[in-house]
């Protein structure tokens, strides 16, 4: 199944490029393409120099040569059923509610074509999916990051997919998360209302748009409440906690929203590999203190989910406890 469009990039080589290997030149010219990717495209006959196919990555660039690189549309692998255990909370003909463990990717994508929640659901729901969008597949109406654990709902029928999608779009679904953070928020309770866009410095990260008048990114709202504060942060005024447990309730569902918002107000999620890297962050005590645990993923857990069943119209609400790794970190925090 094609995903995206074929792309052709054309350039006329300048004097400064003369004599440079063509794969190095193109990698320098187009930093979004790795040399390995460029070499693979050359080997596949996707490069033309002065309208002649070139397959050698060692070819030297000549001044004023016309270089045309064709990048085929990426092909998305068709997910296959895989026998992966699932912790099911509720299931009927239309939907399934489950606990996603940390480390499990929701949907197949580059780098994770197998071993995902979708692969597991295709196996678990074999023969009971009604063909969402004309294809027998589970309907993913919301996602949790790979490193985030917690409760999720997935549609099994077209009616459930459409009904749940409308509820998520209208922001009527109740979603609450527990986050263990470095430091604590001030004030202890409030709303974070910003726009979130892709970071201009790192395309894999999201960032708060600093200009309040900018229309970049998407509107994001997180309501937070500090449930517990632990310890005293060294070098800070009395009452500044070393760590905290924060409840976050979403009004919107943007990529990495809670992680970005909590880092924005100065209390990043503990062990967040993307938004929490700074000195003294990985552990709450000295670096040589072996009693201070790390959990090797962001300490974020979706613990509540509530919605109206899109077919039976029953009000459903689910609440799940912290998994053992986060509970162990919370137990340590309580000892501070």
Catalytic positions are: 145
- The four Cα atoms 43, 44, 46, 48 give a dihedral, to 10 degrees, of 50
Tokens of 317: 């609400």
Tally Cβ neighbours within 10 Å of residue 250: 21
Give the residues across from 181 on adjacent strands. Answer: 244, 269
CA distance 217 to 198: 7
Those residues whose C-beta lies under 8 Å from the C-beta of residue 310, and which sit 6 or more positions away, are 94, 95, 155, 159, 160, 162, 163, 164, 166, 167
- Of the candidates 224, 175, 215, 179, which has an alpha carbon nearest to the alpha carbon of residue 197? 215
- Of the candidates 129, 147, 128, which has an alpha carbon nearest to the alpha carbon of residue 137? 129
Is residue 187 reached through a cis peptide bond, with omega within 30 degrees of 0 on the bond before it?
yes
Give the residues across from 246 on adjacent strands. Answer: 179, 226
CA distance 239 to 37: 53
> Using CA of residue 83, residue 148, residue 145, residue 168, what is the dihedral sign?
positive
CA distance 208 to 262: 11
Instruction: Give me the residue label for tokens 């940390």.
Output: 102
HEC sequence for 152-179: EEEECCHHHHHHHHHHHHCCCCEEEEEE
Instruction: Give me the residue label for tokens 């679904």.
Output: 173
């Amino acid at each position: 199944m094609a995903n995206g469009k074929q792309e052709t990039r054309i350039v006329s080589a300048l004097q400064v490029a003369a004599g440079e290997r063509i794969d190095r030149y193109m990698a320098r010219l187009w930093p979004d393409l790795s040399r390995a990717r460029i070499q693979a495209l050359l080997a596949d006959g996707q490069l033309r120099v002065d309208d002649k196919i070139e397959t050698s990555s060692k070819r030297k660039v000549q001044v004023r040569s016309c270089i045309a690189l064709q990048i085929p549309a990426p092909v998305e692998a068709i997910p296959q059923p895989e026998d992966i255990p699932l912790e099911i909370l509720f299931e009927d003909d239309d939907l399934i509610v489950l606990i996603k463990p940390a480390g499990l990717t929701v949907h197949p994508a580059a780098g994770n074509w197998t071993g995902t929640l979708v692969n597991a659901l295709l196996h678990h729901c074999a023969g009971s999916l009604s063909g969402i969008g004309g294809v027998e597949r589970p309907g993913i109406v919301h996602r949790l990051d790979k490193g985030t654990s917690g409760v999720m709902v997935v549609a099994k029928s077209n009616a459930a997919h459409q009904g749940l999608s409308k509820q998520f779009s209208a922001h009527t679904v109740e979603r609450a998360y527990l986050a263990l953070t470095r430091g604590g928020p001030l004030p202890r309770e409030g709303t974070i209302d910003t726009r979130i866009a892709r970071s201009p410095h790192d395309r894999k990260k999201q960032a708060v748009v600093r200009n309040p008048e900018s229309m970049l990114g998407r509107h994001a709202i997180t309501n937070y409440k500090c449930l517990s504060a632990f310890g005293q942060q060294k070098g800070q005024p009395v009452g500044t906690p070393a760590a905290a447990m924060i409840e976050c309730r979403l009004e919107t569902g943007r990529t990495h929203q809670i992680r970005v918002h909590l880092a924005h107000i100065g209390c990043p999620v503990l062990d967040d590999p993307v938004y929490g890297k700074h000195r003294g962050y990985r552990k709450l005590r000295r670096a040589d203190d072996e009693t201070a645990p790390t959990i090797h993923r962001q300490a974020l857990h979706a613990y509540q989910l509530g919605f109206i069943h899109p077919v039976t119209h029953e009000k459903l609400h689910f609440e799940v406890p912290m998994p053992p790794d986060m509970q162990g970190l919370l137990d340590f925090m309580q000892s501070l």
